[in-house]
């Protein structure tokens, strides 16, 4: 660049010399003026000569000079071109992202959650493709509170010209100290008791997109619950509650659980999106094999992502309402609609509020400091549970605010870490999937 600058100054001096010589040539007609004695005629010729010179000669010379300088600068730049070399920090981040975030094949480490309130869980899995978009997956997780999960599943995607996805799974979960605080919003954090359940499950599901933005879903599964005394520092649930304050306490039901859904979804992916929206209704039927605690539930959910400046910032909004349809049927306390988790009221303890109906509102302002797989978000949550549908309104909501950092892939968000504040103080936030 210094060489080009010196060349530019040298050419500028030459241009000044040329300009000086040109003015001398322009003044020669005035010397002829003294000899010819016709000043008016000579003045006209001289003026015309000056105009022609500045109109034609000078712009052409200047343009040629600029063109030459630009061409030389491009030549020097071309000699110094080389592929971008990521920094050491970027290489480490991309390696971790490939192993933990992008969908791997073969053996892979696994981090996440076994069940709400179980704490951070670690484990591993093995994924094997047996088709272009078909694979089976076996995984296991263990948490710091001795929660355990073992599952084997298979996915077959993109059937009928990418309109149908199929899924099936079979697994076992052991949650050793699940929290129960009682029914309603008037409970205290000191009312907590623990219970333990073991769940064996197996089922299949289908997702269909007959047209681009319209989606339907269906699932059926067998779910066998075995409830026991809770572990941990808190009292076991039977020491503080009865079947009246904890519905169906003392039973271990087994259900045929069927679900149907319909809605609109134009997000790039459900697990990670910065644009688009989802509007969906889901109907659940829990058919107790002993025909004692059967019930139906209806969920309505709205998600909208509003990108700003090419998705550098995103405003994300969510609304979710759940209602139990059978007013007289008993819903086991551990299957009641609930709030308090990493994807509902994020700053409150897991399963903090339970009752027959619930409503939740959430908002986020997200920004993208690193497009390789890192997001930041400020969040706000508000919601409540109620014993009757008539009181399912927006009065006396529990609220919280906080900030999160997310690690994500193109279609999944396997890790979220954050901190927030609510009416019960400050709490850390941990999630193994997208908030919404």
| Residue 354, domain CATH | 2.40.160.50
Residue 85 lies in a domain: no
Q: Which of 40, 60, 79 is the last residue of a domain?
A: 79
pLDDT tops 90 at residue 372? no
Indicate the pTM of the whole model.
Answer: 0.76
Could you give the CA distance from residue 117 to residue 162 in angstroms, rounded to a whole number? Answer: 37
Residue 272 lies in a domain: yes
For residues 303 and 217, membership in a common domain is answered with yes
Q: Which of 17, 51, 79 is the last residue of a domain?
A: 79
Among 278, 322, 267, CA closest to 300: 322
pLDDT of amino acid 60: 47
The number of CA neighbours under 13 Å toward the Cβ of 10 is 7
Range with the largest mean pLDDT of 31-35, 74-78, 402-406: 402-406
For residues 197 and 64, membership in a common domain is answered with no
pLDDT of amino acid 334: 97
CB atoms within 10 A of CB 89: 8
Say if residues 364 and 305 touch (Cβ distance below 8 Å). Answer: no
**H or E element at residue 21:** helix 2-36
Residue 271 lies in a domain: yes
pLDDT in tens, 323-355: 999 877 899 999 999 999 999 999 999 999 999
Q: Which of 31, 55, 79 is the last residue of a domain?
A: 79
Residue 344 lies in a domain: yes
pLDDT in tens, 113-126: 899 999 889 999 99
Instruction: Report, as an integer, the average pLDDT of 187-197.
Output: 96
pLDDT tops 90 at residue 188? yes
Least confident of 68-72, 253-257, 273-277, 398-402: 68-72
- Higher per-residue confidence, 86 vs 408: 408
Which structural domain range is residue 312 located in?
90-431
Report residue 77's pLDDT band, with 50, 70 and 90 as the boundaries.
low
For residues 69 and 186, membership in a common domain is answered with no
For residues 124 and 63, membership in a common domain is answered with no
CA distance to 69, 79, 193, 424, per residue, from 74 (Å): 9, 9, 73, 63
Report residue 112's pLDDT band, with 50, 70 and 90 as the boundaries.
confident
For residues 251 and 284, membership in a common domain is answered with yes
Least confident of 46-50, 135-139, 196-200: 46-50
For residues 14 and 162, membership in a common domain is answered with no
For residues 327 and 207, membership in a common domain is answered with yes
For residues 199 and 138, membership in a common domain is answered with yes
Total domains present in the chain: 2
For residues 95 and 30, membership in a common domain is answered with no
CA distance to 110, 154, 162, 359, per residue, from 127 (Å): 12, 9, 22, 37
For residues 62 and 117, membership in a common domain is answered with no
pLDDT of amino acid 44: 58
For residues 49 and 95, membership in a common domain is answered with no
Could you give the CA distance from residue 325 to residue 207 in angstroms, rounded to a whole number? Answer: 24
pLDDT of amino acid 70: 72
For residues 159 and 33, membership in a common domain is answered with no
Residue 293 lies in a domain: yes
- Higher per-residue confidence, 83 vs 159: 159
pLDDT tops 50 at residue 4? no
Both tokens of 363, joined, read 């908002």
């Amino acid at each position: 660049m210094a060489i080009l600058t010196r060349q530019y100054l040298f050419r500028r001096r030459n241009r000044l010399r040329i300009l000086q010589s040109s003015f001398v040539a322009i003044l020669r007609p005035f010397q002829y003026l003294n000899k010819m004695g016709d000043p008016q005629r000579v003045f006209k010729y001289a003026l015309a000569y000056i105009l022609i010179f500045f109109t034609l000669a000078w712009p052409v010379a200047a343009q040629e000079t600029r063109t030459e300088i630009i061409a030389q600068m491009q030549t020097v730049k071309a000699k110094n071109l080389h592929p971008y070399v990521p920094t050491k920090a970027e290489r480490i981040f991309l390696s971790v992202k490939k192993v933990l975030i992008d969908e791997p094949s073969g053996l892979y480490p696994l981090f996440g959650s076994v069940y709400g309130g179980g704490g951070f869980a670690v484990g591993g899995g093995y994924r094997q493709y047996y088709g272009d978009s078909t694979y089976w997956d076996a995984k296991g997780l263990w948490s710091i509170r001795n929660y355990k999960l073992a599952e084997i599943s298979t996915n077959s995607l993109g059937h009928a010209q990418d309109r149908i996805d199929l899924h099936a799974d079979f697994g076992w979960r052991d949650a050793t100290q699940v929290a129960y605080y009682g029914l309603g919003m008037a409970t205290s954090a000191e009312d907590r008791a623990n219970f333990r359940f073991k769940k064996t499950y197996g089922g299949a599901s289908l997702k269909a997109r007959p047209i681009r933005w319209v989606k339907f879903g269906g699932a059926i599964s067998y779910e066998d619950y075995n409830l026991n005394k809770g572990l941990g520092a808190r009292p076991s649930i039977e020491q503080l509650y009865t079947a009246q304050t904890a519905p169906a306490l003392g039973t271990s039901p087994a259900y045929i659980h069927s679900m149907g859904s319909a809605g609109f979804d134009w997000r790039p992916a459900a697990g990670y999106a910065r644009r688009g929206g989802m509007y969906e209704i889901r109907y659940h039927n829990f058919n107790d094999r002993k025909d004692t605690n059967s019930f139906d539930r209806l969920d309505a959910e709205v998600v909208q992502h509003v990108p700003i400046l090419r998705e550098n910032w995103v405003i994300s909004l969510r609304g979710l309402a759940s209602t139990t349809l059978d007013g007289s049927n008993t819903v086991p306390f551990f299957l009641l609609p609930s709030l308090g988790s990493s994807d509902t009221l994020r700053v409150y303890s897991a399963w903090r509020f339970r009752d027959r109906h619930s409503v939740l509102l959430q908002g986020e302002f997200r920004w993208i400091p690193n497009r390789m797989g890192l997001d930041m978000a400020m969040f706000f949550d508000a919601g409540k549970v109620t014993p009757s549908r008539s009181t399912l309104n927006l009065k006396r909501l529990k609220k919280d605010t906080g900030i999160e950092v997310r690690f994500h892939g193109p279609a999944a968000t396997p890790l979220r870490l954050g901190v927030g504040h609510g009416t019960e103080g400050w709490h850390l936030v941990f999630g193994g999937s997208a908030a919404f």
